[in-house]
């Protein structure tokens, strides 16, 4: 028999596991066969929210927490795609959250409800930045699907960019539309020689050589930059 | 040409996208063919960290932020499995983070480095709870794989439980080992009649009937509880 | 420029493609990571409907057609899980279908609307058998997931069995709960020697031997039967 | 002990489940890593057959039934790719079906054999339209893979189009080659404002706003149309 | 324009890529949704062949080469499941290989044909051991699927074991049926303390501690051994 | 109780199974969501090594064996991506192999260690060709991902080509960069009429016709050649 006070929390943690399995349905509409999960989207949304809040002078940890919980109701109603909302009415998210945490120890349930209520009310700077993070994450993911060859994602990029409210989110969206996903490892690869020297003591010269072969070489990296 | 100050941030956000693709390697060792991503693990870890912190009187948003970033270095070094650590030495995580945020606007890079430094130092209550959240998430995921039929996950459950330090994490781990993953939707299904009445106005009686057919009925739910 | 009369049909066929990507959400709740698509479910539902109608003296082709279209509205509203219906109100399926076929040539749209209207009204024998086919398919799929090791599917088996209305569906459900999924190829393997003789003229004796090695032998098949 | 008369049917339904797992091998040749299942192909083929038959004044439900069963023999012989047929001789499909239904109640087996015999003889209008539906489905799927970035599918589009016999299938194929897969949801998205007004009563203004943000806006939809 | 002598080889290497996509169909029959590829099976078969040959005093590299090419014809005929061979006649593998290498430089084509001819003739010790390796690989994979929860694989284990001819393969099969898949990393985990000391110089004590937490501890490993 | 001499071998074979699950991490960096396994890469690497050795007058079976084992240590250390090697020091591969085979019968362990030692020393022609095969396989896989639409793989093509040492590998790499992946089945499809005549005796004319419909026709094949 589980301790009664722990049972509601335990149920909630298993319920959250469903977000690892649930896919973001919008990407199916965009033609992606096996898209990201809601958990994956929420992870990067929270990272983005943290950064945006620092840039905008808001509370970064609080913003990240708002992002973390922003889709947690979808365990119960699924991820109704935007185009489907003409046909579907769902209970308000704060009501769903209230049901999810009904058997929590009181102060824990309260802390979760406050996060969801704040996000849904969209009144604090943190809540507005969390919404921007949600949209910006969608834009970045669309850019990544585009680099995988998917032709039908531009509306997701453009609609997400158009929905952004904060100056920082708009500047980031602008940069993300110019910088391709491959850029990050190109920059990383270029830093390799500088990184490798102070830190590595290869014991076998033949290995060092093999590693050099494994590295995208300088001229290739130059090419990548120019694309 | 992207705005120079945005370029480092943009690269970082694309780099974080890699955590949606990288799988948690320990599960491959446990025999799971297509396991969760690092992003998915980090998502629920942060949810757990938030709850644990409320229970322990620590800062929940800060704890969630520590959890969010706790595996972000794995974009560069992969997820070296525990058993492999006898053969591998990696640079300390704070050094990796410093490289990842080198081109950030100063205060943003600083905010990320502080989160990683605090987590790695394991000195604050929040850092200790974030580590507990990491372990507890592993235990819960192992329980879910077990319910899918995987026979070889018990060591992950037991080792994770043994590593927990806080009272709240230990109580939760105890409950998770007693409560099966199916319990959450059994509780949800039982609440259905209570939930459905105040909220729904089905316009077509034949639909309401169809829905009733779609619901696991009470006696079934009773069975689930007893298993 | 596409021929205007063909455009609505073309859009509909691409829209139906979405059902290959959309997963049946109930299975995610049951803990299955990568479950069947709605298209896959609809395929076997229609096969079952065809057989049930022959058994019950109804129109088999009509019943199969009702089954084929029974979830086609889910391209627009997703597959809301049963447990979620307490929180979600969706437009009636006939309205959704009317929108989907609005730009069809008139008699084609009419033919699709009639199928959906008949299924939803649940008044004809064929419509009742199509609903039974839907439930029986779910039961059979649950049995298959069970044989893959998934522990949490029994409520899907029991609820589906309890919802069946026709005598033939009930007899089939009874048999499906007794016969394991592996039975079909055991019966097939046992028939191998009888099947192979009249039909094959192996030109190379060494090949015939290799094939014999590849076949589950008789004693094994016996074992399977006894499990 | 299952009821003897039900056992053959039960085995067949489990055997049909294999078509959810079997992939269409032609797509592997075309370079698609994780292509559709035979069940998914058969589902949309039957939908297409239903529509084609209405357009051509044939029996739509019968045509759909012919489509449903047209690949059911592949549980026993696999999906031998076209290019491989130079090396492989398989038993005629009606013989395979006869073996599959050998233990059926007589009239049910008869009904299945008749469907397969009619399809294979290719003499009725319905059988010819079912074959056209098979080819047209392949063409449409190829167009969808193309929109996902796959460069090597054009031969599947062109060969399928060239094999069509009926006027309606040719007109549809023409339109499918001009209309991109994204067109369906563009049309859907454009209808959103018209759809949403008569039907929705959003209780919370802030929600209505959020939804508006989630919708691809008009100008974007215009862009999609022009691509 | 590619160099003519290289074109046949290049085509062959792309053709071999298909074996990464083609799944082993027998596992679909056994109920596995997303089974291993033919390339994956061939890889471990070749490893096994190498070891068996050393044990039996045969030529290990030659045996591995026979294993490598043993299923390469399946790019053209697919992997016809054993139970299906009653309905299918395929061209002999040496003929298929001759077609595959027809445009090779003469001595390269000759070297590939010799490998396939030797394997198919089953006359040399190496060819017999390669066949044993093929069967033993199937047995081991079945054991791994069993540990993932799949209930229907025992016939694959038993039939494979029964088909083995060499003493070494039989002894290995015997051991594989007694030793569970998890055993390898249990042994590895137990060796951890011995492995880690001579090799690692952890620079940060707190890290060493964290690592210790990450390791399945001794008592757990003991438990695993006893299961 | 397993026979002690077999236990080390059995563990090793299960350990090798992990390479079917482990993905090649470099492709995740390149943006591929679900890339090939290490086992799949090793399979084609060994095929390539066999062919290269014939072309260069080296020992083909020995070269294939070196290729087979070249990544077998990654079960213990994972596949550290090239760009990550600035942050990671791993034990030398021969040490890892020595640990993996420690409980082997002496001569079997010796035979495996010799293969790994020879590969890592890179002194024999066979070892150098095996390294070339490793690089060439990466190039070919990158070309295949490119044909699937992935835009970010060119650096993998160029870096791999630049690392090749043998004349034969360079000529093959040149051809692979000119010949698209679809070329192999185009050549195969063109050979169809020649292949089919001497070998097939279709018993049913209507079938022969259906097959003809299934074949990409000549003019299409011509188109493919010209792309």
Q: What is the pLDDT of residues A51-99, one digit of tens each?
A: 999 999 999 999 999 999 999 999 999 998 887 888 999 999 999 999 9
Cβ within 8 Å, pair F44-E39:
yes
**A181 pLDDT higher than 70:** yes
**CA separation, residue B227 to residues B171, D94, D136 (Å):** 22, 47, 49
Question: How far does the CA of residue C164 sit from the closest CA of chain B (Å)?
Answer: 9
Measure F83 CA to nearest chain E CA, in Å.
22
Candidates A86, A150, A155; nearest CB to D224: A155
Predicted pLDDT at B218: 32
- Choose the closest CB to F149 out of D30, D85, D148: D148
The share of chain C scoring above pLDDT 70, in percent, equals: 86
- Is C155 in Cβ contact with B216 (below 8 Å)? yes
F211: closest CA of chain E, how far (Å) = 15
C-alpha Rg value of chain A to the nearest Å: 22
Q: Do E1 and F178 touch (CB under 8 A)?
A: yes
Nearest CA in chain F to A149: F149
- pLDDT value at position B31? 96
Cβ contact, residue pair A147, F152, below 8 Å: yes
Query: How many interface pairs between A and F have CB atoms less than 8 angstroms apart?
Result: 86
Q: How far is E49 from chain B (nearest CA, A)?
A: 23
Lowest-pLDDT range of B34-38, E143-147, E204-208 = E204-208
Per the structure block, which two tokens stand in for A178? Answer: 């110019």
- Phi-psi map region of A15: left, alpha, beta (phi>0 left; psi -120 to 50 alpha): alpha
Q: Answer whether C178's CB lies under 8 Å from C161's CB.
A: no
Residues of D in contact with A156 (CB under 8 A): 216
Are residues D172 and F201 in contact, defined by beta-carbon separation less than 8 angstroms?
Answer: no
Are B122 and E211 inside 8 Å of each other by CB?
Answer: no
Q: Which residues of C touch A96 (CB under 8 A)?
A: 87
Q: What is the pLDDT of residue A197?
A: 57
Token digits of residue E187: 């042994």
Three-state secondary-structure class, residue B88: strand
In whole angstroms, what is the distance from residue E109 CA to residue F55 CA? 10
F27 pLDDT exceeds 90? yes
Those residues whose C-beta lies under 8 Å from the C-beta of residue B110, and which sit 6 or more positions away, are none
**How big is chain C by its Cα radius of gyration, in Å?**
22
Of F180, F191, F220, the CB nearest to D158: F220
CB-CB contact of B44 with B137 (8 Å): yes
Beta carbons within 8 Å of F62's beta carbon, 6+ residues apart: E61, F53, F126
CB within 8 Å: E86 and C196: yes
From chain E, which residues contact D within 8 Å (Cβ)? 18, 21-23, 25, 28-29, 31-33, 76-81, 83-84, 86-91, 95-96
Rounded distance between C-alpha atoms, residue F15 and residue A159, angstroms: 48
Are residues B192 and C83, on separate chains, in Cβ contact within 8 Å?
yes
- Chain B positions touching E196 (Cβ under 8 A) are 85-86
CB contact under 8 A, D148 and A31: yes
| Alpha-carbon distance D223 to nearest alpha carbon in chain C (angstroms) | 16
Encoding tokens for residue F57?
A: 């007058």
Task: Render pLDDT for A133-172 as a digit per residue (tens, 0 to 9).
Answer: 999 999 999 999 999 999 999 999 999 999 999 999 999 9
Cβ(F172)–Cβ(E6) below 8 Å: yes
Confidence of residue E212 (pLDDT cuts 50, 70, 90): very low
Closest CA–CA distance from residue D126 to any residue of chain E (Å):
27
Nearest by CB to C61, from D47, D62, D176: name it: D62
Q: Strand ranges (DSSP E) for chain D?
A: 88-90
pLDDT-derived band at F215 (thresholds 50, 70, 90) equals very low
CB–CB contact A210 F87 (8 Å): no
Task: Tell me whether residues F201 and D122 touch, CB distance under 8 A.
Answer: no
Per-residue model confidence (pLDDT) at position B203: 39
What is the SS3 string spanning chain A? CCCHHHHHHHHHHHHHHHHHHCECHHHHHCCCCCCCEHHHHHHHHHHHHHHHHHHHCCCHHHHHHHHHCCCCCHHHHCCCCHHHHHCEEECCHHHHHHHHCCCCCHHHHHHHHHHHHHHHHCCCHHHHHHHHHHHHHHHHHHHHHHHCCCCCCHHHHHHHHHHCCCHHHHHHHHHHHHCCCCHHHHHHHHHHHHHHHHHCCCCCHHHHHHHHHHCCCHHHHHHHHHC
C-D CB pairs within 8 A amount to 207
C204 contacts E83? CB cut-off 8 A: no
Burial of E178 (0-12, 13-18, 19+ CB in 10 A): middle
Inter-chain residue contact B195 with C82, CB threshold 8 Å: no
Q: Inspect the interface and report whether the beta carbons of F88 and B87 lie closer than 8 Å.
A: no
User: Which chains does chain A touch, 3 or more C-beta pairs < 8 A?
Assistant: B, C, D, F
Which are the contacts of B198, defined by CB distance < 8 A and separation ≥ 6?
A: none
At residue C108, does pLDDT exceed 60?
A: yes
- pLDDT exceeds cutoff 70 at B196: no
Give pLDDT, residue D1. Answer: 79
Which of E220, E222, E226, E227 is the best residue to mutate to test the B interface, defined by the most B CB atoms within 10 Å of its own CB? E220
Determine the longest span between alpha carbons in chain D, in angstroms: 66
Q: Which range is least confidently modeled, D83-87, D182-186, F32-36?
A: D83-87
Q: What separation in angstroms does the CA of A19 have from each of B70, B149, B152, B195, D79?
A: 20, 20, 24, 22, 35
Residue F146 to chain D, least CA–CA distance (Å) = 9
By C-alpha distance, the chain F residue nearest E64 is F65
Nearest residue, CB atoms, A181 vs list F121, F135, F152: F152
Give pLDDT tens digits for B132-188. Answer: 999 999 999 999 999 999 999 999 999 999 999 999 999 999 999 999 999 998 888
Q: Which residue of F has its CA nearest to E201?
A: F89
For E45-99, what is each residue's pLDDT tens digit? Answer: 999 999 999 999 999 999 999 999 999 999 999 998 887 888 999 999 999 999 9
State residue A187's pLDDT score: 80
Q: Is the pLDDT of residue B211 over 60?
A: no
Task: Output the six-digit token pair for B151.
Answer: 């026979």
pTM for this prediction: 0.90
What are the chain C neighbours of B191 within 8 Å (beta carbons)?
Answer: 86
pLDDT of res. E196: 64
- Mean per-residue pLDDT over chain E, rounded: 87
Find the angle CA(E65)-CA(E67)-CA(E73) to the nearest 5 degrees. Answer: 105
How far is B21 from F103, CA to CA, in rounded Å?
36
Query: What is the rounded distance in angstroms from the CA atom of residue E161 to the CA atom of residue E142?
Result: 11
Q: Residue F148's closest chain A neighbor by CA?
A: A149
- Specify the 3-state DSSP secondary structure of B152: coil
Q: Do E185 and F60 touch (CB under 8 A)?
A: no
DSSP character for D37? B
- Closest alpha carbon within chain E to F50: E65
Judged against a pLDDT cut of 80, whether residue D140 lies above it is answered with yes
Residue of chain A nearest B100, judged by CA positions: A188
CB–CB contact E6 F174 (8 Å): yes
| Triad E156, E161, E166: Cα angle to 5° | 145
**Tens digits of residue pLDDT in F122-152:** 999 999 999 999 999 999 999 999 999 999 9
Q: How far is D60 from chain F (nearest CA, A)?
A: 23
Q: Inter-chain contact D89–F202, Cβ cutoff 8 Å?
A: yes
What is the total residue count of chain E? 227
Band (C220; pLDDT cuts 50, 70, 90): very low
Strands D88-90 and E88-90: antiparallel
Cβ contact, residue pair F78, B91, below 8 Å: no
SS (H, E, C) F192-207: HHHHHHHHCCCCCHHH
């Amino acid at each position: 028999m589980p301790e009664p006070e722990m049972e509601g929390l335990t149920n909630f943690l298993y319920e959250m596991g469903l977000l690892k399995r649930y896919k973001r349905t919008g990407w199916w509409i965009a033609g992606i066969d096996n898209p990201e999960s809601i958990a994956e989207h929420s992870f990067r949304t929270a990272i983005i929210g943290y950064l945006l809040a620092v840039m905008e002078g808001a509370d970064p940890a609080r913003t990240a927490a708002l992002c973390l919980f922003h889709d947690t109701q979808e365990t119960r109603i699924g991820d109704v795609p935007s185009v489907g909302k003409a046909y579907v009415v769902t209970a308000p998210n704060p009501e769903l959250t209230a049901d999810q945490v009904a058997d929590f120890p009181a102060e824990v349930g309260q802390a979760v409800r406050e996060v969801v209520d704040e996000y849904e009310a969209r009144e604090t700077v943190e809540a507005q930045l969390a919404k921007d993070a949600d949209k910006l994450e969608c834009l970045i993911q669309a850019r990544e699907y585009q680099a995988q060859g998917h032709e039908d994602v531009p509306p997701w990029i453009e609609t997400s960019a158009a929905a952004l409210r904060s100056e920082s989110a708009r500047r980031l969206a602008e940069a993300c539309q110019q910088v391709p996903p491959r850029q990050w490892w190109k920059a990383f690869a270029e830093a390799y020689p500088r990184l490798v020297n102070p830190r590595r003591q290869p014991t076998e010269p033949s290995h060092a050589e093999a590693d050099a072969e494994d590295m995208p070489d300088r001229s290739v990296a130059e090419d990548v930059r120019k694309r």
